[in-house]
Structures are given as structure tokens and as C-alpha cells.
A and B are shown apart, each in its own frame.
Chain A
Amino acid sequence: DAMVIQNPRYQVTQFGKPVTLSCSQTLNHNVMYWYQQKSSQAPKLLFHYYDKDFNNEADTPDNFQSRRPNTSFCFLDIRSPGLGDAAMYLCATSPPGNWVQFFGPGTRLTVL
């Protein structure tokens, strides 16, 4: 089945230790998104890619970066995680035109 896959599902890191979350898709969608969702809050958009065109939300901290080496893969790098970065990180994809978003299962990040 075509889908959005996120690895790992659960990630534990130490304060200040860089971490990378990955997302892959078999949907061949042009657009990929990264969201951060904290407990009981709505998902907050961090970045999105339209093909290789990178779009950074104005209030996304510099601590967060992203890479998209090809259509299928997208990575979220957190350079120096703080306690406030503990959250669920959601990846989504979208075909151009109707902007329907398909979400992965998320990666739950814990910062110790």
C-alpha cells in the first residue's frame, strides 16, 4: 500500500545531542511537510518542500533544519534539542492541486 513512513516511531535523546528524524513516502507526492505537535495542541507547521523548493515557516527555530535528498525522503534535523522540543513530529505529503494531506504515524521525541 502507498503510504507515509516515519522512523523511528519513538526517539529518546539527551539534552543538546543532535537527532535526525526520517520520513519516506511511496505516494510520489511533490509536497512534503514537517509538523511539531505538543500535547493537547494542534500540529504546528515547521517546514514544507514543494519538490526541492524549501519553505521555512517564519517562527521555526534555527535549531530545526530539514533535508530532502529526493522525492521519497525527507529528514528533520534538530541540532541541539532542548526540553521544550519534546513533542510528536509528524510528516505529511500532498499532491499539488487539491492539497490533501496524508500523514505518517509520527515520531515521539523525548529529550532527557
Chain B
Amino acid sequence: KQEVTQIPAALSVPEGENLVLNCSFTDSAIYNLQWFRQDPGKGLTSLLLIQSSQREQTSGRLNASLDKSSGRSTLYIAASQPGDSATYLCAVTGPGNQFYFGTGTSLTVIP
């Protein structure tokens, strides 16, 4: 069974710093990987989707990479802002339309 791990579980950085969130998965047979943002008590907002044939995707200050062979993805956030404070979840889609979430990284950006 696919296992998705996110390290660290929590991260605190000063405003303006660049940061990297990590996601690893055990089974490389995936269709895609998605990064989500979740604010406290709210639903999930999709940030970036990387198809299995792609290496990276960019949206504004966010850049996500995918290395399927090593089972890793990173989410790079440039010039962090207090509004970026949230929990970031990665999820992979595998055969049979199975969708597996990581446990998330809770990010706090300190003004």
C-alpha cells in the first residue's frame, strides 16, 4: 500500500525567507501528485498539480518538483509571507484511482 510522508511536521520561519517542504511516497506508480493548502477549520485548496510525466510546476511564488523514481516531491515557497501560514498537504493518485494524502506540514511565517 502507498505511504506518503511529509517532513517536517511543523516549520516556523521569519517573513521573507525561502523555504522547502518535503513529500515522499513509497510506490512510484503514480498518475500525479498534488499539493494542497489547508487553513485551520477549512477545506483544501489545490495549489499545484504535477502529472507523472512532468518534473515541475510553478505558480507565482510556488514551485513544485517531482522525482518519481526516488519517490520525492518538494514544494518551494519563495519570499514567505505571514499569509502563507497554513498546513500544506501533498497527495498522490495511483492505480485504481486511489488517492493518498500525507499528514501535512504546518507552516508558520513570523512577521
Residues of chain B in range 61-111 having any CB-CB distance to chain A below 8 Å: 89, 91, 93, 97, 99, 101-104
Residue interface mask A82-96, B partner, CB < 8 A = 1: 000000101010000
Asked if B43 and A106 make an inter-chain contact with CB atoms under 8 angstroms apart, the answer reads: yes
Interface of B is mostly: strand
What are some 29 contacts across the A-B interface (CB < 8 A)?
A: A31-B97, A42-B4, A42-B89, A42-B104, A43-B44, A43-B101, A45-B99, A48-B97, A88-B41, A90-B43, A90-B44, A98-B31, A98-B32, A98-B51, A99-B31, A99-B93, A99-B97, A99-B99, A100-B34, A100-B46, A101-B46, A101-B91, A102-B46, A103-B36, A103-B44, A103-B46, A105-B42, A105-B43, A106-B41
Chain A: residues with CB nearer than 8 A to chain B? 6, 31, 33, 40-43, 45, 48, 50, 88, 90, 92, 98-106, 108
